[in-house]
Amino acid sequence: MGCEAPWKSIMANVLNSRLHTARCIFATFYDHEAKKVQGMCQDHGAPSTLLESPFYGGCPRTEVATQLRWAVVMCRSLPLQ
């Protein structure tokens, strides 16, 4: 996430305004972006799971233009099903 300051504010607003049992899903192109989002969730006390789209299974992690390849799934209270 290139310009990090605005994203920190956006993420804080999203994470702080959700219902206690709400699930949030953030989609990114690249794994380094997904890991950054996952870290921001963790900074707000919101553990998350990183999932890869099956469409890109077998593609190198360094592949370019992988639209919405990664999903950061965060749920405060309920386990993922």
pLDDT of the residue at 53:
93
Distance of CA 24 to the CA centre of its chain: 8
Amino acid (1-letter code) at residue 73: V
Which pLDDT band, with edges at 50, 70 and 90, does 76 fall under?
low
Model pLDDT for residues 6-38, shown as the tens digit of each residue: 888 888 888 888 887 788 899 999 989 999 999
